[in-house]
Chain A
């Protein structure tokens, strides 16, 4: 085997093989699993770096596959495929994964089950790396399910919390709904290409447009579930019951962007029809999550809705249908988002660590003085999220908004409003956390975290600030040469300034409403009571899924089936049993033992038989 292929396998293979040892070594001494887990992911990162700089930047696409299911008429490939897109994802995943696992060393140091936690984190990171390096749709799906499994296990890591157990279940089932569409998509791809389209390199072997549309829409269904787009976004906010580092790694930086990666990977089969669907699902998600994010009080849930919205931008960017430019826009937003959202989650984690896990932002306040480094980092995270000029989110998000103008003005308007909402909820959260007086006992006794938790935060903050400088190189890397009119490459126009003005206005409003004591929020909620209730109830989508479909629909149907099973089917079987038993009891009575009666019965039978024979002959049956 070629060295490059071996190394690419090792990127995800090393932690995959290592994860049982991470748990195993924990039985000797629990802290060892923290060190082993962290070093495994660091090793993955180093290998990714090596592969990246030795092969990928030189234009080498590493491919290697073997047949997973021999004996079939077509090859079912599994293996690695490392091109620019895969490697840039692998670098991000291993780097952010390493930083978050390093943070976890401090964050989870007192948990009695931390060896299991680190084992699962390592398994997750390796599966995610496997996902981005997969050479075939089937292998992608395998890792797709494995990251989902890790997400399930890690959301339910604090299994004794009823909320965590319930959230884990919800996440599993909702993403499963998306996953089955992915399965159907693979099935369709196999059918329409005789198996050729299974491998990433062979996607072009689906030729007809309607076939491409079907396959791409089905795959997009999988992406909706995993990337928490409308209407399957309901699982992420609940998933915040898991440890915060899990939220940072899985539900912000990496796993939830797997859907975006899937679309980017299979972009060649997306037709204009399916791209329109993709665009509007993204746009609707942006607006929806922005509105809900404004009324939620749980700090982690605000970040969760923000994640949904930012992924909505990535999806919308792909839906613009600009070819490689779309992929560039979307993946750049993905990477920028990974940095600033991981940063926001980690700072939120530090804060929660300090305030005894009170997650209500109304019970915080005044933390800037108590935890200066953490909250300053959070400030930069919020600025980057809002798209403050010069920070990561500005280059990534605003370029998507500007690019959408050329495709659909309607989409541009909605995406720009989405940017306004983003800044509004981001700074609502920040001002409630950082400014004013501490509003609870826990917030008064908050203190700064240790260095293990600060180093990753500072690194991520630095990346959130300076990531913009990579924009040009990034586009060059994914699309050579990049489209010249792109935002950040061409000079700014009035069009590009609009989102910036909206963003600044949003920060101003946020300060006016939440940065100081103000009656504005309550005035607005009382004024628009109906709208407020609609948003506060998350547009009743959760209610629809949980109360109507799951509890009334499925559980009701299940109760009916159970009754049918016991009464109808079971009753029928018992009744037929009783029928034979009772007819036996009746017929038993003619067994009298009297020869005369037997002779009589024989005679009657004979006469009947002769009559029957006569009838048969008459009608020509015999």
Chain B
């Protein structure tokens, strides 16, 4: 069977990017949609569960790539964002070139099977995000951009050290993930611990997990709305992808496999992050800042899922797979939901001139359609059935009972708190008496129309999750095999 080679995709993407750079006017915006269409087509014409692309070895770099089910899901998410952002925002051409650059880096990041290439793409992602926050950001954009850049960079330094530790202690010839990961069990324990720490540190910052999250609220709030949309939808997925596809195999191949200390710590961190972010979110007055913490809360389910998965170590296939698949599903559903929410917050801010929750109220009277959309997005974020957020969250919750037993009560408390701040915010914004100081306000029709696009996807994925679930196959992720029935 003819397959769409990844190398062709890279070539096409670079060409599109060059054309966007030299062309003037609105072309970059439309080329971004074309760019995403290529990513989407590439993903769906290949076998989404597992397709390998091997292009030999370049000196110490192994040019092998892999489209597994996690990367497929993320590539679909990338193409969604790449279509949604240009449709929704008419930003300057420079922004779209940066967005394309970011998407290109992410496609590389999610498919490569070489650690150095992975690291290069990992760092490349920072550049466009940094510029988007720094150029188009809000009041304290410089502070936010520097904080974001330095904070996440500190994490990646440890990852790089971890990569080098593996490479030099295993005396490998290339940085191929397959060889380096499979050899990790043979090196001294001290080095193994350092490798695990380095990767975990980098990924937990990127995810982010409280208390390593403080770059996030500033970056999300200060970034322009279009920046917030892609940063929240895509960048946090790097950490999640790392945990699921890089960290979990490293851990299971290491001598730590089967031990419970690190997984238990991960679960505890995830629960802490969930409850903490919910508590902080409850107190926020700025809607955008509140939803930034909501994003932290959603991603903490990934931490819990990965921790639970490693804790079980294959002993309970059903629970393990519920956790793992739930986490992967949560990636795409969170990406779509959070993008929709931040876009709606922007619409709200443009219509009313504020995103301060106490200054709003009773919007359902004046802006019924916007209110309906915000309500739907919030309910999706609370994980009400019928919306895609439910599928990921319920899978993780059901799976984690096998690990947590009665400790699950803490996760459930986090779930209730999450629902509380969403509903509390809804009560003060769209319900209640109308705040007459807002005057006679209107939302832009085209912005509302575009928001229906993610909503439809959320419904489709929520009602028929098999659409994504049918590509899941745990053995496609290397070294996680042996968890079959």
> Which A residues fall within an 8 A CB radius of B?
67-74, 138, 141-143, 145-146, 149, 152, 156, 159-162, 164-166, 168-169, 172-173, 176-177, 180-181, 183-184, 186-188, 190-191, 194-195, 554-555, 557-559, 561-562, 565, 569-570, 573, 577
Contacts and interface: CB of A to CB of B under 8 A. Distances in A.
A183 B401 CA distance: 9
Given A184-B408, A569-B211, 13 more contacts: A69-B395, A142-B390, A143-B385, A149-B379, A159-B364, A160-B434, A168-B431, A184-B397, A187-B401, A187-B402, A190-B401, A555-B283, A559-B283
Contacts of B470: 70-71
Nearest to A184: B408
A185 to B, nearest CB: 9
Contacts of A156: 431
A71 B432 contact: no
Contact of A160 (B214, B362, B402, B465): B362
Counting from the closest, the 8 A-B pairs by CB-CB distance are: A187-B401, A165-B431, A180-B412, A142-B385, A562-B283, A561-B279, A558-B282, A73-B485
B400 interface: yes
22 contacts: A68-B466, A71-B325, A71-B472, A73-B321, A142-B390, A145-B384, A159-B365, A160-B364, A160-B365, A160-B433, A162-B432, A169-B423, A173-B416, A173-B419, A173-B423, A176-B420, A180-B413, A184-B397, A187-B400, A555-B283, A558-B282, A565-B214
Given A187-B401, A555-B282, A194 B150 contact: no
B427 interface: yes
A176 B432 contact: no
A165 B321 CA distance: 40
B211 to A, nearest CB: 6
Contact of B322 (A72, A188, A561): A72
Contacts of A555: 282-283
B417 interface: yes
Nearest to B317: A73
A113 to B, nearest CB: 9
Interface in B387-444: 390-391, 394-395, 397-402, 408-409, 412-413, 415-417, 419-420, 423-424, 426-427, 430-434
B151 interface: yes
Interface string B462-479: 000110011111000000
Given A173-B420, A558-B282, A577-B150, A190 B384 contact: no
Interface residues of B, number: 63
Contact of B280 (A149, A177, A190, A565): A565
Contacts of B402: 187, 190-191
Given A142-B385, A191-B319, A67 B466 contact: yes
B420 A554 contact: yes
Contacts of B399: 187
A522 to B, nearest CB: 37
B26 interface: no
Contacts of B385: 141-143, 145-146
B469 to A, nearest CB: 5
Interface of B is mostly: helix
Contacts of A184: 397, 401, 408-409, 412
B398 A169 contact: no
A172 B280 contact: no
Contacts of A169: 423-424, 426-427
B416 A73 contact: no
**Residue of A71, A145, A577 most packed against chain B (CB within 10 A):** A71
B147 interface: yes
Interface in B308-340: 316-319, 321-322, 325
Given A187-B402, A190-B318, A573 B282 contact: no
B284 interface: yes
Nearest to B284: A562
B395 A183 contact: no
B276 interface: yes
A176 B413 CA distance: 10
A310 B279 CA distance: 37
Interface of A is mostly: helix
A69 B468 CA distance: 9
A160 B432 contact: yes
Contacts of B433: 160-162
B386 interface: yes
Contacts of A161: 433
Contacts of B484: 73
Nearest to B210: A569
B419 A176 contact: yes
Contact of A142 (B150, B316, B386, B432): B386
Nearest to A183: B397
Contacts of B413: 180
Interface string B298-314: 00000000000000000
Contact of B473 (A71, A183, A554, A561): A71
Nearest to B426: A169
B276 A72 contact: no
Interface in B343-365: 362, 364-365
Contacts of B431: 156, 159-160, 164-165, 168
Contacts of A165: 427, 431-432
A177 B473 CA distance: 34
A383 B448 CA distance: 53
A80 B196 CA distance: 47
Contacts of A558: 279-280, 282-283
Contacts of B362: 159-160
B357 to A, nearest CB: 13
Contacts of B417: 554
B401 A577 contact: no
B469 A71 contact: yes
A187 B397 contact: yes
Given A172-B419, A173-B423, A570-B214, A577 B319 contact: no
Nearest to A187: B401
B280 A70 contact: no
A161 B394 CA distance: 34
A582 to B, nearest CB: 15
Contacts of A142: 385-386, 390
A191 B405 CA distance: 10
Nearest to B399: A187
A570 B470 CA distance: 43
Contacts of A561: 276, 279-280, 283
Interface string B15-50: 000000000000000000000000000000000000
Contacts of B469: 69-72
A194 B325 CA distance: 17
Nearest to A156: B431
Contacts of A183: 394, 397-398, 412, 415
Interface string B255-296: 000000000000000000000100110111000000000000
